[in-house]
Structure 1
């Protein structure tokens, strides 16, 4: 196996259909420099090109992500939209995404787990927006994604008032799905990702697309129609016929 490129700030490995992406700039607390953001965008794209059916995002300890690079923010040499390349790629991934957070996520660093479908945290995790503490308005869709998880009041508490959530509190408020011991973090995140990766790829992608489109609707009839179209599509796929045959075979065998 070749050694990781020391000049690449996001490491990637593919196993069992799951691409594990690791923020790998611990000397800078995995801060969102232009390079790290670009490397994350490239890693997401490369993983999808290689056939990844799920993504797990982790980080080299002890900090998950310290937010925007202070040097980059002060220099202002890169347009803000370009600084969000990694976040945009992660949020737009058509496959299930799982964030494994074992340390503090600060400022724009909170955007990365928020961009994932699931967040698995440890008790040592911290979710601390901290934008206003450095005199900058939240960006990257932070308020929208945060409020969709913790509600408007929760977003106000965290962003306006500086409330910080631990890993367990993040679960209780809806920001994370589970809080597990650090020794169980990778296993839990991978188990969930592997389950998704083992399911029919086109069906998983279509279901994720429907889920995201559903969140933009406020009419139950429109949601019904959206799901009906997708469900009828799924029943025309060979995977449906094959899965139904397996279920019937198991039932027949159980009755003998």
Structure 2
């Protein structure tokens, strides 16, 4: 597929997927959804994924113009969510590798929640997160109503969702909504260093950390202890574990193969 609305590169184990409609703040169209889905199917040689936006914004959510609905005309938004946004969120959260959101500017509506679906969110201090749904009579989709109270608590989740007030990146970091807010001119270096670290790391173990933590919400402590036992047993037989122990004992840097 020749991409027109995104840019996709894979180098050194790091895949970089850039939403590339800067004139529309990288808002989603059906075409962009299709291109993103295609790119996410090309990660066989990747050990980390960076998701970002071109220009001055990360993503403004859905491009309302793309729905071609006349003012006052009804539209089945559930179909759009079911066919486009839900599969994207499920895919990002299930990828067996760390996913970094590089939030370079405004992340609004579904764009904010797509960023929050990533495993690590690093934002420029000038960036803002906006749950803009209430302004047009909708609810925070793309996982928003699930992830917000789990990250920041019910009071702040309701405040963000009901008011639609922009949340500065530094406050988002203070609240625990995102991992880190950095100076704008330090964003690339911060993201690149972390992506390189993940790409050189024990990919299978990192993928298991991601899976275990994401699935732990539904587990009792007793069940989680059993899951930890099973995961440790499987990882103990991995090549990366053997290499990690050998490197530690030999006082050298490990050379992980991601297996």
Per the normalisation by structure 2, the TM-score is 0.87
Aligned partners of 1:41 and 1:87 also within 8 Å: no
Q: What is the distance in 2 between the residues matched to 1:168 and 1:147?
A: 19
- Structure 2 segments unaligned to the other structure (5+ residues): 70-74, 253-259
Task: Tell me whether 1:66 sits opposite 2:60 in the alignment.
Answer: yes
Task: Tell me whether 1:174 sits opposite 2:176 in the alignment.
Answer: yes
Matched with 1:163 is 165
Q: What is the distance in 2 between the residues matched to 1:91 and 1:203?
A: 16
Aligned partners of 1:149 and 1:174 also within 8 Å: yes
Aligned partners of 1:44 and 1:93 also within 8 Å: no
Partner of 1:240: helix, strand, or coil? helix
Matched with 1:28 is 24
**CA RMSD across the alignment:** 2.0
Matched with 1:248 is 249
Give the CA deviation at 1:10. 1.4
Aligned partners of 1:58 and 1:101 also within 8 Å: yes
- Structure 1 segments unaligned to the other structure (5+ residues): 252-256
| Cα deviation digits, residues 124-172 of structure 1 (max 9, x gap) | 1010111010122222221101222212111101001223210101100
Matched with 2:204 is 202
Distance 1:247 1:11, change over 3 A: same
Partner of 1:179: helix, strand, or coil? strand
Matched with 2:234 is 233
Find the partner of 1:154 among 153, 156, 159: 156
Find the partner of 2:121 among 119, 130, 142: 119
Give the CA deviation at 1:187. 1.5
Aligned partners of 1:98 and 1:117 also within 8 Å: yes
Q: What is the distance in 2 between the residues matched to 1:65 and 1:107?
A: 8
Aligned partners of 2:101 and 2:120 also within 8 Å: yes
Matched with 1:97 is 99
Give the CA deviation at 1:73. 4.3
Distance 1:243 1:63, change over 3 A: closer
Q: What is the distance in 2 between the residues matched to 1:178 and 1:17?
A: 23
Q: What is the distance in 1 between the residues matched to 2:229 and 2:135?
A: 47
The size of the alignment, in residue pairs, is 244
Q: What is the distance in 1 between the residues matched to 2:178 and 2:218?
A: 21
Aligned partners of 1:9 and 1:25 also within 8 Å: yes
Give the CA deviation at 1:179. 0.9
Matched with 1:254 is none
Partner of 1:250: helix, strand, or coil? coil
Give the CA deviation at 1:34. 1.2
Give the CA deviation at 1:71. 2.0
